[in-house]
Structures are given as structure tokens and as C-alpha cells.
Amino acid sequence: MTRKAAHLISHSHWDREWYMPYERHHYLLTELMNDLLDVLEQDPRYRYFHLDGQTIIIEDYLQVHPEKREQLEAYIKGGRIIIGPWYVLQDEFLTSSEANVRNLLIGHQDAAKYGVISKLGYFPDSFGNMGQAPQLLKQADIDTAVFGRGVKPTGFDNVVIDTNGSGYESPYSEMYWSAPDDSTVVGILFANWYSNGNEVPVEAEAAKAFWDKRLGDAQKYASTPELLFMNGCDHQPIQRDLGDAIDTARSLYPDVEFIHSSFEQYIDALKKQLPDNMVTIQGELRSQHTDGWGTLVNTASISNS
């Protein structure tokens, strides 16, 4: 039987200011980070946390808790808190091209202090993606991007239903993405959003219902048996009992390898198995035909992504 793996990647997508003023979100951010350090300290089963691809979170936190610097640094250097590559998560169409370049450079400068950086083009909540992103990423030695919008996955049991010839569709959640200069990265769409592994139940009956649905949804689009489950959502607190939830999942599904994973681990496993029939999408990703997730391109009425 083919090995099937469920990669749970813990994160919290952080809008620094959105439906509440900056300081209220900032307050919640300090709680999130305090909880994160606590759970990393206490539970070795909680292996990694993806810090939303934006290094500014580190300065926001240390501004309030400078005494935590050493502890935070140790987890970043040890690879359990994963930072970068951006300084902030920008809306790619509302900022200038040069700002997008500087954003990546500053993120790299910030991460250089720790000697580690996530080499992943992280665009979880961007309302469409800029056409030259693959070129920019490749020049920063990044060959993979993840994003939540701009492409419609058409797969159902991995069969293409209707591509309409628009160039925005992919049969899988995985695809190649090319810039106008032909720089190409592997693109991964959060086809079931970046919360498809959020709040995983510990109790067996609830966990069975949760995983039956979520495993099915992920397999609908996945091109390989490496399945991605994002354990988090917008401003989502740490799931402190995730270790127990994973233990429950393992006992319920002996044929699935549940891993508290990192993007690096997931992408390494994925790349070994990518199929030959992946499509290449070109340039700007701004399809409005995604399932319920309109791209709202060039819309400034929400503060950021």
C-alpha cells in the first residue's frame, strides 16, 4: 500500500491590524507568543511553529517582552520556530514592485541575525499574486511558493473537470508557476484554505468525523500521498493539546502517518513524488473563480493581508 502522510503544520496567520486596532491585535500576539514558548518548553511532541512568513512579529513581541529574547532566539536557531522570508506579509498589488523586493531583503536581513530562514515564498492570504514572484523568489534562492488565492483547483479524484482555457486552473493543489522571464517555482495552493487542520479534536469520535472529512478534502486535490494540513487560522491561539490530538489520529488511522511537520519536511517529501502531468500557470494569479475566495485585487478597503 502506498504510504500516506498527513503533515500538520502549526501556524497563526497574523494581520497586525484589521478588525481591531493595532494594539489590541498586538496584545493577542504577545499572548500567542507566550503560549508558543510555553508549549515548546513543555511538550516535545509539539515540534515546529511557522511564524507566518513575516519577521516583524519578532520585533512586535520583543518590544513587550524583551526578557524573552534569549529563549525565543534559542527556538529560532534550533529550527522549531521558523521565520521569514518576508519582513511583512504585504498585499502584493497595493505595494510597489520595489517595496516587494525590499520586503524580501529586509526579511532576510532580520533572519540573518539568527542564521536561519524559511526559504519558502509565503503568500497565505494575499488577494492575488504578482506575476514576477517566481523571478523574485528564484533570485533569493527560493524555489517553492504557497498561496491561498488566484488559482482554481479543478480536481475531483484528480480528474480535470473543466479548465475553461483561462490558464488559472490546475488539476492539483500543486503546480508549476512561471514568471514572464520563465523563472519557475513549485506552487502549492491551500486548496482547502490555511485552516484545514485547525483545532484538531482529541476525543476519538469527534476526531474520526474531523479526519474523515479533512483527509477526503485534501486528497481531492493533492497530487501525491503527502497531504498538507494547516493547524491554525487568522490570529489563532496555539493548540496546546495538539500532541494528544495527533496521538488520537494515529490510533484511528494506522494507514496514515501523522507528522507534526514543517514546510521544509513536507516539501522535501512532496518533491520526490510530484507527477508528470502537473500544469504550469503563468504570471499574475488573479482568478476570481476560486471557490468562495474572490481575489479582491487592488482593493484597499481592508488594511492588509
Which residues are catalytically annotated? 125
Is 199 a binding residue for Zn ion by CB under 5 A? The answer is no
The nearer residue to Zn ion, 235 or 250, going by C-beta atoms, is: 235
DSSP line for 1-16: ---EEEEEEEB-B--S
The nearer residue to Zn ion, 15 or 35, going by C-beta atoms, is: 15
Round to the nearest angstrom and report the end-to-end CA distance of the chain.
41
The nearer residue to Zn ion, 124 or 171, going by C-beta atoms, is: 124
Is 192 a binding residue for Zn ion by CB under 5 A? The answer is no
Closest CA to 81 of 38, 51, 60: 51
Ranked by CB distance to Zn ion, the top (closest) residue is: 125
Is 110 a binding residue for Zn ion by CB under 5 A? The answer is no
String marking each residue 119-158 x if it binds Zn ion according to CB under 5 A: ------x---------------------------------
Shortest CB 104 distance to Zn ion, Å: 18
Shortest CB 193 distance to Zn ion, Å: 12
Shortest CB 232 distance to Zn ion, Å: 12
* DSSP, res 65: -
Is 174 a binding residue for Zn ion by CB under 5 A? The answer is no
The nearer residue to Zn ion, 129 or 248, going by C-beta atoms, is: 129
What sign does the CA torsion over 289, 210, 269, 75 have?
positive
CA triplet 237, 54, 150: central angle to 5 degrees? 90
Closest CA to 170 of 152, 182, 185: 152
Contact 190, 230 (CB under 8 A): yes
SS3 170: strand
Shortest CB 297 distance to Zn ion, Å: 15
Integer Rg of the chain from CA: 19
Q: Which residues of 99-109 are buried (b: 16+ CB within 10 A; e: fewer)?
A: ebeebbebbbe
Is 235 a binding residue for Zn ion by CB under 5 A? The answer is no
Which residues, numbered 55-74, are part of the site for Zn ion (CB under 5 A)? none
The nearer residue to Zn ion, 125 or 284, going by C-beta atoms, is: 125
String marking each residue 12-31 x if it binds Zn ion according to CB under 5 A: ---x----------------
Sites of contact with Zn ion (CB under 5 A): 15, 125, 305
